[in-house]
Amino acid sequence: EAGVTQSPTHLIKTRGQQATLRCSPISGHTSVYWYQQALGLGLQFLLWYDEGEERNRGNFPPRFSGRQFPNYSSELNVNALELEDSALYLCASRQLAGGRNEQFFGPGTRLTVL
Amino acid sequence: AQSVTQLDSHVSVSEGTPVLLRCNYSSSYSPSLFWYVQHPNKGLQLLLKYTSAATLVKGINGFEAEFKKSETSFHLTKPSAHMSDAAEYFCVVSDRWPGGGADGLTFGKGTHLIIQP
């Protein structure tokens, strides 16, 4: 069974630009979660998508947005990049049905804002 | 609201000795609790989970954790450390839906486990 995949592995942008990060969940998983792991701030919940809709978001400004496609893959967009957006962005997927409630994480995209 | 406190930012043990990583949680509901491990430049891997079944939970790689409601603790242990256990460990709580359906998961700050040869 293939795990959660994320692309790109690394992304370098400058302040003010936009970044797009991609995530493919495990086959059969309909929920995708995004987390930000910034130095000194730990892991923070960003967004949750399920069945193509945004179900919940963490305490982040609106310039963090995303979407989920019909094949359940997901995209995270960060507009008007700021230096403090530099972080490892982790995607996780979960299968809501069937009683297995843990999230499975991808390897992450390391975003560097210069 | 839910929160997690990992009591030690760094733990150093010698190879072959026991490991104890401490975690306390706060939850308004019956929580689901998890331990994840993150090796350098890797994603997070689930070690074990508690979801209101047995209070002593066994995970992968010889790790186990005990849920103690009276102490609001979920400490992670391993009888004998191996060099490959060196990593960052995260204690995680979810008390809305099992697995964080509503609020995602709330992570502790992490404990860096160092294994001395």
CATH superfamily membership of B3-116: Immunoglobulins (2.60.40.10)
Residue B40 has pLDDT above 60, yes or no: yes
Report which secondary-structure segment, H or E, holds A72.
Answer: none
pLDDT tens across B45-103, in order?
A: 999 998 877 889 999 999 999 999 899 999 999 999 999 999 999 999 886 554 555 55
CB-based contact B99 A101, cutoff 8 Å: yes
Which residues of chain A are within 8 Å of residue B102 when distances are taken between CB atoms? 55-56
A contact set with B (CB within 8 A): 4, 31, 33, 35, 42-46, 48, 55-56, 58, 90, 92, 94, 96, 100-108
Q: What is residue B106's predicted lDDT score, i.e. its pLDDT?
A: 85
For A62, the domain range is 5-97
> What tens-digit pLDDT sequence spans chain A (114 residues)?
689 999 999 999 999 999 999 999 999 899 999 999 998 778 888 999 988 999 888 889 999 999 999 999 999 999 999 999 999 999 999 887 665 668 899 999 999 999
- The Cα-based distances of A64 to A32, A42, A67, A82, B1 in angstroms read 15, 18, 11, 11, 23
In a domain, A85, yes or no: yes
At B32, the pLDDT band (50, 70, 90 cuts) reads confident
At B30, the pLDDT band (50, 70, 90 cuts) reads confident
Q: Measure in Å the smallest separation between the Cα of B51 and chain A Cα atoms.
A: 9
User: In 3D, which of B45, B40, B33 has the Cα closest to residue B2?
Assistant: B33
CB-based contact B97 A101, cutoff 8 Å: yes
Computed over every residue of chain A, the mean pLDDT equals 92
Number of CB pairs, chain A paired with chain B, less than 8 A apart: 65
In a domain, A87, yes or no: yes
Domain count, chain A: 1
CB B66 within 8 A of CB B76: no
What are the domain boundaries of chain B? Answer: 3-116
Q: What are phi and psi of A16, to 5 degrees?
A: 90, -20
Which residues of chain A are within 8 Å of residue B94 when distances are taken between CB atoms? 101
- CATH assignment at residue A37: 2.60.40.10
